[in-house]
Amino acid sequence: MLEIISGLVIPLIVLAVIVYGIKKKVDIYDVFIEGAKESFELVLTIFPYILGMMFAINLFLNTNILFNITTFLKPFFDYINMPVEVLPMALMRPISGNSSLALLNNLLSTYGPDSLIGRIGSVIQGSNDTTLYVLTLYFGSVGVKKIRYALWAGLLSDLCGIIISVIVVNLLF
């Protein structure tokens, strides 16, 4: 059921836009081409930013340092009833979406999707976004260099998001 609905959302949005455009007598094809052209410039702008960020992040993650931090933070996470196994994935979440998804995949196959660990991991992945990537992409696309407090605000919100996910899963299940 859910699959059918989520499969229908995009086609219906496109349909609605096209029908409404015709109703408002927009030259839909010309306007579409004009809009699509903007993507060239956008892609060229964001590439160097993505490259820079991926370069640094990949070198950093290569050291496995994130897994060492886990042992260090264990007491705190025991305190809020968060299984320490989820921690590497949670720490990875704001840095790299693909890596945290890969780690979630590991968690689900090791502990099972219906375990506490599986549920917490799923909710953390689902209710947060990759802060570093979004920051690079969004600010990079407009050429902003001074990001002021954006990173701190973003990471602090991620920390809150992770803690909230753990609390919510503990309460609901």
Partner 1 sequence: MINKLWGFFIIIGIVVGILSNQIDSINREMLNSAKVSLDMVLQIFPVLALWLGIMNIAKTAGVIKKFAEFLSPLLGKLFPEIPKNHEALGYIASNIIVNMFGLGSAATPVGLKGMRLLNELNDRKDEASRSMITFLVINTSGVTIVPTTIISLRMLHGSSKPTEIVLACVVATVISTFCAIIIDKIFARRNKKCLK
Pick from 39, 147, 137: nearest CA to 97:
137
Indicate the residue among 65 and 80 with the shorter CB distance to partner 1: 65
Indicate the residue among 75 and 171 with the shorter CB distance to partner 1: 171
Indicate the residue among 62 and 79 with the shorter CB distance to partner 1: 62
As measured in angstroms, the least distance from the Cβ of 90 to partner 1 is 13
* 3-state secondary structure string across 44-83: HHHHHHHHHHHHHHHHHHHCCHHHHHHHHHHHHHHHCCCC
As measured in angstroms, the least distance from the Cβ of 68 to partner 1 is 9
Write the CA distances from 148 to 115, 144, 153, 157, integer angstroms: 40, 10, 10, 16
Map residue 106 onto helix, strand or coil.
helix
CA dihedral sign, ordered 122, 126, 127, 128: positive
As measured in angstroms, the least distance from the Cβ of 143 to partner 1 is 7
State in Å, rounded, how far the first CA of the chain is from the last one: 23
As measured in angstroms, the least distance from the Cβ of 117 to partner 1 is 12
Indicate the residue among 58 and 71 with the shorter CB distance to partner 1: 58
